[in-house]
Every structure is written in C-alpha cells, then in structure tokens.
Amino acid sequence: MSLKEIARIAGTSVSTVSRVLNQPDYKCKNPELESRIWAAAQEIRYTPNTAAQTLKSGISLARTEEKTMTFDIFLTRFPSLSQDLFFSELFEFLKKELLRQQCVIGKFLTLPEVTSMLNEKSSFSATDKHADGIILLGKCPSELISPLQNHYHNIVGIDRNPTDFAYDEVICNGTNAAITAMNYLISLGHKKIAYIGDCSYEARYIGYYQSLISHSLPLDYSNIYPTSQTREEGMKTMELILQRDSLPTAIFCANDSTALGVFDCLRHRRKKGYVPSIISIDNIRESEQTKPMLTTIDIPKEEMAHHAVKLLLDRIHNGHNSAARIELPCKLLVRESCSISPH
C-alpha cells in the first residue's frame, strides 16, 4: 500500500516507485520525477517491507521488529542543496542508505533556518520531537555545535574538514585531497598556481599552502582568491584573474562547482594563447561533462553516506560512547584539464 500511495502522490507507476526506492543502482531518467518520489516517500515516512524480504531469504526477523529511526538533516553551509552540488549528490546516496537501514528522514534544516531559530531563542524541540539523531552535511559553525548537542543526543557529521572530535564524523580529509591535487600540478612543472576557495580554517587551503612550502615554492598572496566556493564566484574570480598582467599557469579550485565557473568564464573571455591547467576536488557528475574534461580529486560520497548512517546507528545502539571518526581516502582522477607547464 505504501508504494501505491507514493505512486499516487508522485503521479507515476508503482513499478517506477519501486525501482527508484528499492534498487540502489537504478538511475531515473527524469530527475524531477525522482525528486517527487523521494518527497512523497518522506511525507508518508516510507520504509521497505523487509518482513517479506527476510521471509524470502530466511534471515531473522529481529531487525524488522526494531523501531524505525528518524534522522533530521542539517545542510550547514548553504541555504539549499542546489548551491552545493557535492552535498546534493551525497544526499542522494544518503537517502538510499537510510532507506536500506530502515530509517527515515525527519526535517531538512539549512543554516539560515537554524540560525534564525537560535536568534529567536527558540528551542529545537519542535524539530527533534520525532528525531532520533541528526546528520550534518558540511562544516558546522562552531557556535552551533553546543546548541545542537543540547538537543540531539546522536550526531554524525560528513565533511572534508575534521573537527576536534566534537561529535562522530565521517571525513575525507580536505588537506590530503588538496596536497594530492597540488602535487600533481607541481609534477607537471607548475610553480605559479592560483587558489580559488574558502580560506577561513579550510582544510583545502591549508593543503594548498603546505604543498607550496614543502616544494620550496613562494606563497604569493596575489594568487589567492577567497570565495564561498560557488559556480558564480568561480566565474567572477576567473574574470579577475584574466585582468592580470602576470597570469598563473595553473588554477587549483577548492571544489568542482568553482571549477565549473572557471570554465564558464574561459568559454566567453579566453585570452589569446592562455590555457591554464585546472584541477579541483569532489568529482561531481558534471565534472565529466566539461570540455576539456575536468581533472579532479574523487571524494567517495557513497561510502561516506554509508558509514555515516552505520556510525549513527552504532551510537544509538550503544556500540560506542566516545566521539568516533572514520576517514576515507581520496583519489586523483587524471582527465584532460591539466598539462605540462609552458614555463
């Protein structure tokens, strides 16, 4: 009946709903329809009928008799997922992992919403009334950690920046990812490398300047461009770079969204003879569609989502008490956007 209800709300067939929700590798050709299906599933608090599945497989029914866990989601950096393509893709994996673990999503919170609640001195009671925990997507502002811990007993974060063991977290270390990217550029002979991205306690910026120092290259502050790492800012920053007399031979973007903006600019305002090498971090789907294809550092989004849910459930079931951290490795994906330095 649940699948039929979701199909009715989403305006599609039961078979399509079943494929989207119950087949992890299924790719819906209509993203808008897939969004409607997931929204409907969240609305009716759908979980798969594992009782039938376990009867077929002969597995114990003990797990199916447990309480359905509900987790709120907090996007810590931007007001919507459309502005953060990395966490937008990770959230797709997270939804599927929660469903696989018989869990449902409660409320989806953004930074403006949480900040407003705190400014109004209202509590999270309305938010976490039915929530068994919360999953943080991104670096949580330090001033929000304590209020969140006061209202959610179970917290796990997913990010590229490790905390000081403030809560459970699954990370792919941004410093290591940046060092991997920079080492590749330097191996191609690049010495004048610009950085576009966040510079405030940001692991990827730390990796950038640590790489320069370790290779005895000068840290030229004129090559550092602080941004909030959006596609629009990537485009605007590249426009500024093109106005310079002395141009960097390579550009390290803190994330793929920024790199997409750099490509947008170069398509319309390319300087004659200037073709900088471009590298970034994340490996979002759109990074495979650029011309040239973007060389990037893969952050294992699906694995991060999987381990975050498992870590949260382990805490709830008293599997651990102290803050735990799972760190996953990054991987360089060499494509077409980097070449040997001309100088």
Contact present, 299 and 330 (Cβ < 8 Å): yes
Nearby residues of 281 by Cβ (< 8 Å), 6 or more positions away: 160, 174, 177, 178, 181, 204, 253, 254, 255, 256, 296, 297, 299, 330
Give the integer Cα–Cα distance in Å for 290 and 120.
44
- Can you give the pLDDT at residue 58? 47
- Can you give the pLDDT at residue 64? 45
Contact present, 205 and 195 (Cβ < 8 Å): yes
Region class of 141: left (phi > 0), else alpha (psi between -120 and 50), else beta: beta
SS percent in the chain: helix, strand, coil, step 5: 45, 15, 40
Give the integer Cα–Cα distance in Å for 181 and 175.
10
Successive 10-residue mean pLDDT values, the chain, 343 residues: 83 87 78 84 74 45 64 92 92 92 91 79 54 94 90 93 92 97 98 96 94 96 96 96 95 97 92 92 96 97 97 96 96 97 86
* pTM exceeds 0.95, yes or no: no
Instruction: Retrieve residue 67's tokens.
Output: 């309480």
Give the integer Cα–Cα distance in Å for 164 and 161.
10
- Can you give the pLDDT at residue 44? 78
- Can you give the pLDDT at residue 136? 97
Give the integer Cα–Cα distance in Å for 9 and 44.
10
- Can you give the pLDDT at residue 122? 53
Contact present, 285 and 320 (Cβ < 8 Å): no
DSSP per-residue letters across 253-311: ESSHHHHHHHHHHHHHSPPTT---EEEEEE--GGGGSSSSPPEEEE--HHHHHHHHHHH
Q: What DSSP state is assigned to residue 125?
A: T
Torsion of CA 108, 110, 115, 121, to 10 degrees: -10
- Can you give the pLDDT at residue 207? 97
Region class of 222: left (phi > 0), else alpha (psi between -120 and 50), else beta: alpha
Q: What DSSP state is assigned to residue 82?
A: G
Count the helices and strands in the chain (H runs, E runs): 12, 12
